Amino acid sequence: MDRSGDPAVLAELIGRKLTGRSGGLYRRLADELAALIGSADLPVGARLPAERWLAEALAISRSTVVAAYDELRARGLVESRRGSGTTVARSASRGRSTADKRMPPGYGESLFHRITVGLGEVIAMTYAVDPGIPELADELAELARTDLPALLQDVGYHPRGLQVLRERIADHFDEGGLPTSPDEIVVTSGAHQAIALATHMYLRTGAAVVIEQPSWPGCFDLFGAAGGRVVGVPLDDAGIRPDLLEAALKEHQPAMLFVMPTFHNPTGRLMSAVRRRQVGELAAKYGVIVVEDNAYSTWDPAGPEIPPPLAAFAPAKAEVLTIGSVSKAVWGGLRIGWVRAPRPLAERLARHKALADLGSPIIDQALTARLLPRLPEVTADRGRLATARRAHIGQLLTEQLPEWTWEVPEGGSALWVRLPGTDARVFAQIALRHGVELVPGRAMDPTGEHDDYLRIPFAYSAEVLDDAVGRLARAWQEFRRHGPAPGVPMV
């Protein structure tokens, strides 16, 4: 579907770049639009949004957009005709590079684009990360003192992963209720690479992949880049709904099922043991590969008991890939994850891993091997901190934004918040003007079913949360006072 004329999409692409730069706002807007013209986002002949619609989506004056369009016309990049609006001129494609056409559709509004743009001067609540645990520096120093000389004599290429690390990951699964041998483990550069390798193995152009609805924004980029068709299945309190899942498996015959049992992103729900068994049985019945991502497994011991991974409940003939990582619990910069799979699948994954990068960094693997026995303790500490922060932001939102609603998540690091009668993409642009960057629901569910939701992470200090919610409250007050312009889509 052509989305080039959608003001909310353009606002996602360029809104942040208008913040904190010098020069006239209309000229900055013209520059950012000019950078998109001729690309897949604004191809030749694409119609630009009406001035008032784009103005509302960006939370700026209409006169600024009018002046920016005038500037683009003067540069020969767009043309306007009565009754046809403003469109990208044919001459705009001359001299344009097409090198970026390999990027997946929608890359500009994806989570990864938000990361590559950089943090800037805003409170970036687009992803939730904690600083590295204090023990990390001590372990790294001890590794350098005792293990580094031997590591430097190693060839350095281990597509499956260091043996000692695979043994400790297998022990970690054993302790979590899923018997595992080191031969069933492949070490990856974070959970993201693990999902990417599975996608490369199983997804072909036109094939369907079933996901939870809503879901992690990055999966749309990964599955879309592989040419896959995403089919969403709604959740209930126990996880993905088995009745709707079975209907989707029957109708679409997917190549892969991607779920996040512990804890779901963005809702923070924990899939029950009964539901895990149901999902495993359905996967076996319909012959679909299951990829379970448990990277968001930070857990407060005072919270609900976590069942073993889904793979522990699946029938023997089911094929389940179980993904984990230390990036959330230890440090986002320690890019070490893993896949647990039946031995034949692990061997195939290792071959794909070898083709990708010959193996994850060996020093990072050695450091992770030292830390892994302490992972339950570290995860519990992070979980207790997350519970305190969740309570703090909940109180702030209740006091300052009483119209917003959410369910208290069972885990994870974010709230899934509903804004009454509001397109969250429109509000997100106003919030950006107040210095807070957010991920609206459309990024996590392109069907439109969650357009009135925001994901609000709470993996920040109390001081940052105080500041962020204060800014959001002022943005909401401005939004409620002025509202969207007539004709701008609302929920």
Q: What is the mean pLDDT of residues 239-246?
A: 98
**Which of 150-154, 175-179, 294-298, 439-443 is the least confident region?**
294-298
pLDDT in tens, 362-419: 999 999 999 999 999 999 999 999 999 999 999 999 999 999 999 999 999 999 999 9
Is residue 426 scored above 60 in pLDDT? yes
Q: Which residue has the higher pLDDT, 88 or 1?
A: 88
Is residue 16 scored above 80 in pLDDT? no
Four-residue CA torsion sign, 151, 153, 158, 163: negative
The mean of the pLDDT values for the chain is: 88
Count of CB atoms within 10 A of residue 332's CB?
Answer: 16
pLDDT in tens, 312-325: 999 999 999 999 99
pLDDT at 93: 62
Q: pLDDT class for 192, splitting at 50, 70, 90? A: very high
What φ, ψ does residue 116 adopt, rounded to 5°? Answer: -70, -25
pLDDT at 19: 61
pLDDT in tens, 320-364: 999 999 998 999 999 999 999 999 999 999 999 999 999 999 999
CB 419 within 8 A of CB 427: yes
Provide the terminal-to-terminal Cα distance of the chain, rounded to the nearest Å: 20
pLDDT in tens, 54-76: 887 787 888 888 888 988 988 88
pLDDT at 94: 53
Q: At what angle do helices 242-252 and 273-286 cross, to 10 degrees?
A: 20
- Domains of the chain by start residue, with CATH: 7-102 (1.10.10.10), 113-131+377-482 (3.90.1150.10), 135-373 (3.40.640.10)
CB 268 within 8 A of CB 409: yes
Q: Coil, strand or helix: which one is 22?
A: coil
Q: Coil, strand or helix: which one is 110?
A: coil
Q: What is the mean pLDDT of residues 469-484?
A: 88
Count of CB atoms within 10 A of residue 401's CB?
Answer: 17
pLDDT in tens, 75-130: 889 998 877 789 999 877 654 444 333 334 443 344 444 444 444 478 999 877 78
Q: How many Å apart are CA 334 and CA 143, to the nearest integer?
A: 15
Give the global pTM. 0.80
Four-residue CA torsion sign, 134, 435, 487, 66: negative
